[in-house]
C-alpha cells in the first residue's frame, strides 16, 4: 500500500492529511477476482445468451474504468486495463443496437457473428489476464485459466510468445 497526500492544513498548526492507496498488485488481484465470476469469459459458447453477454461486457468495462483511475497513467498495468476495456467496448459495438448483429444466422456456411466476437473477446482478455497474473505473481481461477494462451515450453519469464511483446 502506498500513501497519497490529500490535503494540508496550516492555521493553528501544520497538518497533513493522507490516504492509503492500493498498489498495482492490489488492483490486479481485484480485477482477477471480479473476472472469475464472469461466465462470459469461459462458459460454453453454445449456452451463452447474447443479451446477457452484452450486459456482462458492459459491466466489466465499467469495473475496469473504475480500476483504471487507481493506477499510474502509462504503466504496464494501466495499458493492460485499457486494452481489456477496449476489447469489451469492441464486443458491445459488434453486437449493435439491442444485440441485432449477434442474432445467429440460420443460413448454412455463414459464420456466427456472436461466436466470432466472443472468441475475439476471450482471446484478448486471456492474453492480458496472463500478463497480469505473471507480472504480479497471482493465481488465476481454473475456469478463467481456460482462456489463457498456452505457456511456452521453457518458462524463462520471456513474454515474446504474446503478440505485441516480441523483440
Residue 1 neighbours by CB under 8 Å, 6+ apart: 20, 21, 22, 23, 26
What pLDDT was estimated at residue 46? 77
Residue 74 has pLDDT above 50, yes or no: yes
pLDDT tens figures, 24-53? 999 999 999 999 999 999 988 777 889 999
Residue 19 has pLDDT above 60, yes or no: no
Across residues 89-113, what is the average pLDDT? 82
Strand partners, 16: 8
C-alpha cell at 94: 459488434
Select from 161, 163, 137 the least CA-distant residue to 24.
137
* pTM of the predicted model as reported, rounded to 2 decimal places: 0.76
Strand partners, 21: 2
Instruction: Tell me if 128 sits within 8 A of 83, measured CB to CB.
Output: yes
What pLDDT was estimated at residue 20? 47
Amino acid at each position: 500500500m502506498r500513501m497519497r497526500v490529500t490535503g494540508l492544513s496550516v492555521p493553528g498548526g501544520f497538518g497533513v492529511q493522507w490516504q492509503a492507496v492500493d498498489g498495482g498488485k492490489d488492483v490486479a488481484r481485484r480485477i482477477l477476482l471480479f473476472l472469475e465470476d464472469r461466465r462470459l469469459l469461459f462458459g460454453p459458447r453454445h449456452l451463452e445468451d447474447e443479451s446477457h453477454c452484452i450486459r456482462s461486457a458492459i459491466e466489466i468495462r465499467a469495473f475496469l474504468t473504475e480500476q483504471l483511475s487507481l493506477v499510474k497513467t502509462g504503466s504496464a498495468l494501466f495499458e493492460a486495463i485499457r486494452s481489456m476495456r477496449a476489447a469489451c467496448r469492441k464486443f458491445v459495438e459488434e453486437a449493435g443496437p439491442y444485440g441485432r448483429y449477434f442474432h445467429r444466422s440460420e443460413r448454412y456456411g455463414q459464420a456466427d457473428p456472436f461466436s466470432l466476437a466472443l472468441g475475439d473477446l476471450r482471446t484478448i482478455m486471456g492474453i492480458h489476464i496472463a500478463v497480469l497474473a505473471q507480472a504480479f505473481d497471482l493465481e488465476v481461477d481454473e475456469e478463467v485459466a481456460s482462456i489463457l494462451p498456452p505457456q511456452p515450453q521453457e518458462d524463462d519469464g520471456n513474454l515474446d510468445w504474446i503478440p505485441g511483446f516480441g523483440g
